A and B are shown apart, each in its own frame.
Chain A
Amino acid sequence: MERGVVLLDFWPSMFGMRTRIALAEKEIKYEYREEDLRNKSDLLLQMNPVHKKIPVLIHNGKPVCESLNQVQYIDEVWNDRAPLLPANTYKRANARFWADFVDKKIYDLGSKIWRTKGEEQEAAKKEFIDCLKLLEGELGDNHYFGGKDFGYVDVALVPFYCWFYAYEQCGNFSIEAECPKLIAWAKRCMQKESVAKSLADQEKIYEFVLHLKKVFGIE
């Protein structure tokens, strides 16, 4: 193990997947520990007392919390391989801006799509697609958001791809029909071993969402 790296995680979490991808990109060996979120471990509560959430990255016994923070930390510490953030300061700031956009928008809108119905769901679907189109605009004709190379914004966004099937089923719409360029980008990312190994199976995610809907009493 790379001088003690542990990841406290939960298999469907798109935030945990970001950290898994970053660790895989850097070829860092680590111990993956699955958390039961209904019964959080003492270690999780001790390492993230502020938010009590996964993922938590523990490096040499010291915790780093919040997924984008973890990705940046991993990129800085293991800076001799597979750089995720651009070297140029302006491009780096731009990457941080778009990762922050993903954080501000995609999770909440995606959640609304599977948790709600009727007008609220339609509004969420529309805003979700609008945000994906903005991301397509940022991608442009590039292979990745990082340009030629897979990078920080790609890591921030691609985990949501395995949740798209669940959103589509619950919302009765096709994301590919609306945003073909973005889906093409996601499929390109899935060809990378670090991404394919880190994302959950979309059918399992859908089963998980159906289970959550039952638990929360959502039809």
Chain B
Amino acid sequence: MSKADLVILDCWVSPFCMRVKIALNEKGLQYEARPEDLFGGKSELLLNSNPIYKKVPVFLHDGKPLCESTVIVNYIDETWSSPPLLPPCSYGRAQAHFWADYIDKKLFDACGNIWRSKGEVPVEAKTEFISILKQLEGALGDKDYFNGATFGFVDIIAIALTSWFFAVEKIGGFTVADECPKFSSWMKRCLKRESVAKVIPDPEKVYEFVLMFRKMLGID
């Protein structure tokens, strides 16, 4: 498969794009990541491929577009079966989809409630964020990864969002390592994987971006 067959319309700081790139790396696939200028002007290709949301990531497989990161990661796993990202049994897969849905519904907004706060970050926002991570610690249990002994679907869905945690910690005035050490250990374990390390940006750069974005939004 040539690189041109797999294209991702991308933005370096988007955790949703990171999910897709990690999945492709896990499968050992070559792909082209085309950066989109989300502030300056989205490309025709992006607007045509994702007319519903007009957002990144868009994954193009032989020119056929797919949107929404969780849908794309599922597709990648089903199309290139090795190594599998989801458990083999239906119940295990249902559990994985449940936790991916939980992360999507809760964690992204909880991060936003902290990094988007004007002035003092409300205590409730920090408490909510920590309680979500504790819930995820419960799901992790004693396993190395959410998927079990091997890195998989839920790990990919979650680890991408952690790319914004340094910014959240700086703005919120706390650290994940202090509040949720188990979650923090899981993060470090995942970040050692080449598929992940190649994709997750330098946390300081993400923090700089968040500060710039806050100014853009009129928060600072």
Q: Which residues of B have CB within 8 Å of A72?
A: 93-94, 97
A66 touches B97 (CB 8 A): yes
Contact B78 A73 (CB under 8 A): no
CB distance from A132 to the nearest CB of B (A): 13
Across the interface, do A62 and B79 meet the contact criterion of CB distance under 8 Å?
Answer: no
Contacts of A64 in B (CB 8 A): 91, 94, 98
Query: Which of the candidate stretches A87-95, A111-119, A144-152, A203-211 sits at the interface with the other chain?
Result: A87-95
Within 8 A of B (CB), among A28-84: 50, 59, 62, 64-66, 69-70, 72-73, 76-77
Compute how far the CA of A131 lies from the CA of B70 in the bound complex, rounded to whole angstroms.
21
Q: Does B101 contact A66, Cβ atoms closer than 8 Å?
A: yes
Chain A interface mostly helix, strand, loop or mixed? Answer: helix
Query: Which chain B residues in 135-169 approach chain A with CB under 8 Å?
Result: 135
| Chain A residues with CB under 8 A of B52 | 101, 134
Q: Does A96 contact B (CB under 8 A)?
A: yes
Inter-chain contacts of B66 with A (CB < 8 A): 90, 93-94, 97
Given A93-B74, A97-B66, A69-B94 contact (CB < 8 Å): yes
Name the interface size band of chain A.
20 to 34
A97 CA to B67 CA in the complex, in Å? 7
Interface members, chain B 74-92 (any A CB < 8 Å): 74-75, 78-79, 90-91
A100 is an interface residue with CB less than 8 A from chain B:
yes
Distance A62 CA – B98 CA, assembled complex (angstroms):
13
Given known pairs A97-B67, A100-B68, the reply for A69 and B75 (CB within 8 Å) is: no
Contact of B71 among A62, A77, A97 (CB under 8 A): A97
Q: How far is the CA of A77 from the CA of B97 in the complex (A)?
A: 15
A90: chain B residues within 8 A (beta carbon): 61, 64, 66, 75
Asked if B200 lies at the interface with its beta carbon under 8 angstroms from chain A, I say no
What is the CA–CA distance of A50 and B66 in the complex, to the nearest angstrom?
30
Known: A66-B98, A134-B52. A76 touches B93 (CB 8 A): yes
A96 touches B94 (CB 8 A): no
Instruction: Map CB proximity to A onto B25-59 as digits: 1 under 8 Å, 0 otherwise.
Output: 00000000000000000000000000010000000
CA distance A72 to B98 in the complex (A): 11
B72: Cβ under 8 A from any A Cβ: yes
Return the chain A residue nearest B90 by Cβ: A76
Cβ of B102 < 8 Å from any Cβ of A? yes
Contact of B135 among A50, A62, A76, A93 (CB under 8 A): A50
Q: Which of A66, A77, A89, A100 contacts B78 (CB 8 A)?
A: A89
Beyond A50-B102, A64-B91, A69-B98: 10 further Cβ-contacts under 8 Å? Answer: A62-B91, A65-B98, A66-B97, A69-B94, A72-B93, A77-B90, A90-B61, A97-B71, A100-B70, A101-B52
